[in-house]
Copies of this chain bind each other. A is one copy, B any other.
Amino acid sequence: MSNVIDFGRMSCPLPLGERDRVLLGHGSGGKMSAELIQNTFLPAWDNPVLSALEDQATLDLSSWVRQNGNQTPRLAFTTDSFVVQPLFFPGGDIGKLAVHGTVNDLAVGGAIPQFLSAAFILEEGLLIDDLRRIVASMRAACADAGIMLVTGDTKVVNRGKGDQIFITTSGIGWVPAGRTLSIHHARPGDRILISGTIGDHGVTIMSQREGIEFETVLKSDCAPLNGLTEAMLEACPQIRCMRDPTRGGVSSSLNELATASKVGIKLQESRLPIRREVRGACEMLGLDPLYVANEGKLIAVVPAEATDKVLDAMRRHPYGKDAAEIGTVVADHPDMVVLKSVIGGERVVTMLAGEQLPRIC
């Protein structure tokens, strides 16, 4: 008897055409689950921690502790579920998004991403080939970000009780000593920087759904930001705070920041980097780019005197080449984000009230 199960041929014959789809039995915890793990997940992530197939991954911190002058490590820990539709879109797919989304939540806290978990909820009938494509994309995304997938889970729900695939990733990172970035730390006088153009991800997804075509190919900005954040923190260890403006967009991230730090924020509309296609699509669809999700962008709050140094560091990095200073932290109107428009007027930018683009990530 062998651990490599020959599912679908000998042990469990299936009608032709059904072989290449996820079945309820793949979530049983028995032979078919073992087969799915052996043939689909393990080949993508061949590392000794995952391959041990224990119920939990055991992680040795001693090399990290040595590298950091024997200081006790602080851990960063985060989780996100991904339910985006369509599963595949220009610039990425649900798998890449699930890896980089969690990497970015660690990175914007000043943490160095180390370990990832992935839990899959599959709908019966999902094409195994689609699952393989997603897993391959996650593998590449892990390599890109330098994070190791160490533990996972798979459940299967009946047809019509899910939507092909949902992925939940959790991540662990180390926070080097002395780093205390926090949304509570913005102070009047600080500058607001953005790492690049806004709205690319949300408009890409929306265009796919609505069948809108552009002259040029608009792509999701989905990318891992941990290299960029390290370069920024090297240039200025005193960065107050970073956020990745995903769901709810730039407006929601800045409103959360204004509330947490009890400050006001003044934005300059003329300085917001927005692609022409994104601006056009937003006008056509009635969307405000400030509310549209980004998946490879960050907002940073930096002391005024460090602005140029941080901007320089950002622009030298591939994921920060379009970085811009877009606003200022002020003592006036605490809790409020105010936009100075191109034509000179001012308007309050509130948090997203209802739902603009469901299932964007």
Contact = CB atoms under 8 A, between A and B. Distances in A.
Given A33-B248, A61-B73, A111-B56, A160 B157 contact: no
A356 interface: yes
Contact of A76 (B58, B154, B293): B58
A266 interface: no
B151 A79 contact: yes
A54 B109 contact: yes
Copies of this chain in its oligomeric complex: 2
Interface stretch (A118-126, A139-147, A188-196, A211-219): A118-126
A23 interface: yes
A361 to B, nearest CB: 8
Interface string A156-181: 11101111001010111101000000
Given A30-B252, A53-B260, A119 B355 contact: no
Contact of A27 (B111, B121, B358): B358
Interface residues of A, number: 97
B352 A155 contact: no
Interface stretch (A129-137, A239-247, A277-285, A312-320): A239-247
A33 to B, nearest CB: 7
Given A24-B358, A34-B351, A246 B29 contact: yes
A28 B168 contact: no
A343 interface: no
A2 B3 CA distance: 58
A342 interface: no
| Shortest beta-carbon contacts, A-B, top 8 | A30-B352, A29-B247, A29-B248, A170-B170, A168-B168, A79-B117, A56-B78, A25-B355
